Homo-oligomer: A and B are copies of this chain.
Amino acid sequence: MNSRPAYLPAEERREVTVETVIDLAAEQNPADITTGAIAKRMGVTQGALFRHFPSKDAILQAVMEWVAERLLARIDRAISAAASPLDALEAVFMTHIDFISEHPGVPRMLFGELQRAEQTMAKRMAQTLIQHYGERLGRLVAEGKERGELAQALDDKAAVTLFIGTIQGLVMQSLLAGDVRRIRASAPGTFSLYRRAIEAAK
Contacts and interface: CB of A to CB of B under 8 A. Distances in A.
A157 interface: yes
A158 interface: yes
Contacts of A22: none
A55 interface: no
Contact of A127 (B114, B159, B176): B176
Given A155-B189, A196-B196, A117 B29 contact: yes
A115 interface: yes
Contacts of A114: 172, 175-176
Contacts of A80: none
A168 B172 contact: yes
Interface of A: 27-32, 108, 111-112, 114-117, 127, 130-131, 151, 154-155, 157-159, 161-170, 172-173, 175-176, 186, 189-190, 193-194, 196-198
